[in-house]
């Protein structure tokens, strides 16, 4: 049985993985099989993708999935791998700060040692309260939970483009003061902007990568401590389903299956 002392040690180890000299690279998983595949590659940690989790459970992404279903999935993933798990909990699965604190208590009980929590279109002052509640819940459990505060100014095009960088940095300062450990800014890949973010944020910076992004090492050179693929991996997996189905129906052929993971390899990952 995992204790809070065990979780605290795992959380400390997870936090130490964040460094621009060797950025933590996360290929986000959405179920036990994908988590074990990621772990088997030698990844030092496993992150979940809220979109992939929601889709796999028959729900759209965007605060639609019920909290208990999300926590159940987190628990399954955390129990299936030996490396630290960080969970994407969208906006916190709660209408107010107290509910976010309850979610974090559930995340820790599920065995995860990190979270992503996004601000979306929320007022930054409200997000500060939600982050503070998350930190208070982790402190009460005695676990130095890694709280990755996601700032959606760039991803959602919030505010005036000419002041967006300043707004992002202002939010970062406030979120860190509220108890965040690191800052996640998806939606920006421009090297100059990333470098300004890394310079202006006194904490590990996480960037969302995709097919056309520069290399992990290139972002490390800019000061980025963590990169993740978010929903891209799940999207690619579901794209194979569509290609295979379309090819089968339209041409009666099976080329989309050429690079599939061997049955025996996948089956062996799920034994024991």
Q: How many domains does the chain have?
A: 1
Q: Is residue 160 part of a domain?
A: yes
User: How far, in Å, CA of 211 to CA of 5, rounded?
Assistant: 39
Range of the domain at 184: 4-231
Query: Average of pLDDT values for 1-5?
Result: 80
Determine, yes or no, domain membership for 237: no
* pTM (predicted TM-score): 0.95
Would you say the C-alpha torsion 14, 16, 17, 23 has a positive or negative sign? Answer: positive
Chain mean pLDDT for the chain: 96
* pLDDT tens digits for range 44-58: 999 999 999 999 999
- Are the C-beta atoms of 221 and 194 separated by less than 8 Å? no
CA distance 6 to 84: 11
In a domain, 239, yes or no: no
Over residues 210-252, the pLDDT tens digits come to 998 999 999 999 999 999 999 999 999 999 999 999 999 999 9
Q: For residue 146, give the CATH number of its domain.
A: 3.20.20.60
- pLDDT, position 58: 95
Instruction: Note whether residue 146 is domain-resident.
Output: yes
Q: Assess whether pLDDT exceeds 80 at residue 169.
A: yes
Q: Is residue 244 part of a domain?
A: no
Tally of CB atoms within 10 A around 262 = 8
In a domain, 40, yes or no: yes
Position 185 pLDDT exceeds 90:
yes
Number of Cβ within 10 Å of residue 249's Cβ equals 8
- What pLDDT is attached to residue 180? 98
Q: What is the percent of the chain with per-residue pLDDT over 70, rounded to a whole number? A: 99
**Torsions phi, psi of 84, nearest 5?**
-60, 145
19-41 confidence digits (pLDDT tens): 999 999 999 999 999 999 999 99
At 115-124, the pLDDT tens digits run 999 999 999 9
Q: Does 187 map to a domain?
A: yes
Q: Which residues have C-beta within 8 Å of that of residue 4, sequence separation ≥ 6?
A: 108, 141, 142, 143
What CA–CA distance (Å, rounded) separates 106 from 271? 27
């Amino acid at each position: 049985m995992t204790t809070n002392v065990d979780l605290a040690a795992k959380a400390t180890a997870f936090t130490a993985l964040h460094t621009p000299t060797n950025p933590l690279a996360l290929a986000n998983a959405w179920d036990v099989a994908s988590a074990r595949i990621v772990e088997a590659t030698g990844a030092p940690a496993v992150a979940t993708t809220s979109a992939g989790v929601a889709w796999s459970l028959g729900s759209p992404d965007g605060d639609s999935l019920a909290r208990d279903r999300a926590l159940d999935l987190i628990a399954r993933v955390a129990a299936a791998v030996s490396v630290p798990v960080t969970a994407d909990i969208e906006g916190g699965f709660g209408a107010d700060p107290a509910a976010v604190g309850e979610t974090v208590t559930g995340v820790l009980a599920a065995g995860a040692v990190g979270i992503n929590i996004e601000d979306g279109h929320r007022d930054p002052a409200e997000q500060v309260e939600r982050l503070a509640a998350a930190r208070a819940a982790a402190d009460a459990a005695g676990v130095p939970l890694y709280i990755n505060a996601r700032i959606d100014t760039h991803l959602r095009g919030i505010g005036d483009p000419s002041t967006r960088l300043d707004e992002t940095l202002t939010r970062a300062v406030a979120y860190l003061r509220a108890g965040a450990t690191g800052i996640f800014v998806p939606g920006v890949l421009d090297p100059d902007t990333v470098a300004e973010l890394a310079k202006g944020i006194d904490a590990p910076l996480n960037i969302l990568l995709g097919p056309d992004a520069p290399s992990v090492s290139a972002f490390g050179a800019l000061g980025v401590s963590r990169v993740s693929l978010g929903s891209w991996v799940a999207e690619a997996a579901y794209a194979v389903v569509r290609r295979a189905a379309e090819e089968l129906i339209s041409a009666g052929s099976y080329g989309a299956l050429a690079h599939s993971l061997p049955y025996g390899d996948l089956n062996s990952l799920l034994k024991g």
